Amino acid sequence: MTSTAPLPDAAPTNWVDRHAPAVLRPWLKLGRFDRPTGIWLLMLPGWQGIALAAAEQGRLPNLQLLILFLLGAALMRAAGCAYNDIVDRDIDARVARTAGRPVASGQIGVKGAWAYVVACSLVSLVILLCLSPLAIALGVGSLALVAIYPFMKRITWWPQAWLGLTFNWGALMGYAAATGTSALAAAWQYQTQDFFYLDTGRLGYAAGFLYLSGIFWTLGYDTIYAIQDLEDDALAGVKSSARKLGDRAPRAVAGFYLVAVAAAFVAGAAGGLGLPYDLALFAFAVHLGLQARRVKTTDPVLALRLFRSNTWAGAILFLALAVGAFR
């Protein structure tokens, strides 16, 4: 299949098709800048980790760190999407939703796509070097998750779970950047002369539960996203949680979201965030509950709309963590 029809989640009304010069459009689409939802979903866990650390210390999130994580998420998401398109170019060409992607459709060659990956990664490295040593180490460690992800749909029915591990790694990075230590190190009250020490033992456990919450949140929303490709994925032999679950997908999404909310609640309790956080967390729970109630395996248009709404869900959790500073 070589159709160049626009993706359902990248209609010609997007800002790239409306405003970007024609010569730049394939490159912007290679990095999915025409579909910013993924940027927010990658950025928000990092913001949540930053907010969690700040709330434990009774202050608001550091604005400079929030900006750095926004820029880093945009660039690394672009690099990851380009890498994914290189690896999946043959599969993408056989799936209607992805056949028009720049590499699969031949608008950009494989060498050009690799150059794009390298360029975005180098700029991201400059941003990463502005963070604490442990955040840098975590950032480098995330590359293994990113490199393996495109292959997971070939070997497991649960590539969405691996995406959860990958996309929410930023929660640990954000925490490390804000505290100068890592979640595991803080849990054991570890300290060295290289890092500014804070007595953040409880916060270490809180960051771990925040990461767990994010994993199940992603497992839910990406299962919803995969509903768009059920028929084409079956024809192409691509595995997904949506295909594995079939008609049980809506109930499974509800279960994934329930675990996400429960883990987020434990994260707040472990961090000592108190009633303001719990009240705001209720809005997060309601948002996810409404998603799970509405999802249908027979309605891919609705699935896309519900998936996109997770930018609001992630923002609600970030704000809940931020108000936790006022306990």
> Can you count the helices (H) and strands (E) in the chain?
17, 0
Residues 153 and 156: their CA atoms lie apart, in Å, by 6
Assess whether pLDDT exceeds 70 at residue 304: yes
Assess whether pLDDT exceeds 70 at residue 195: no
Encode burial over 67-85: b for 16+ CB neighbours within 10 A, e otherwise: ebbbebbbbbbbbbbbbbb
pLDDT tens track for 38-91: 999 999 999 999 999 999 888 999 999 999 999 999 999 999 999 999 998 988
Average confidence score pLDDT of the chain: 88
How deeply is 280 buried, as exposed, middle or buried, from its count of CB atoms within 10 A (0-12, 13-18, 19+)?
Answer: buried
In order of their start, the domains of the chain are 31-326 (1.10.357.140)
Assess whether pLDDT exceeds 70 at residue 8: no
pLDDT tens track for 10-35: 555 688 888 889 999 999 999 999 98
**What per-residue confidence (pLDDT) applies to 1?**
39
pLDDT tens track for 243-296: 999 999 999 999 999 999 999 999 999 999 989 999 999 999 999 999 999 999
**What per-residue confidence (pLDDT) applies to 5?**
46
Residues 285 and 270: their CA atoms lie apart, in Å, by 18
pLDDT tens track for 106-135: 999 999 999 999 999 999 999 999 988 888
Could you tell me the pLDDT band of residue 96, with boundaries at 50, 70 and 90?
confident
Output the six-digit token pair for 108.
Answer: 């950009």
Could you tell me the pLDDT band of residue 97, with boundaries at 50, 70 and 90?
confident
Residues 239 and 153: their CA atoms lie apart, in Å, by 5
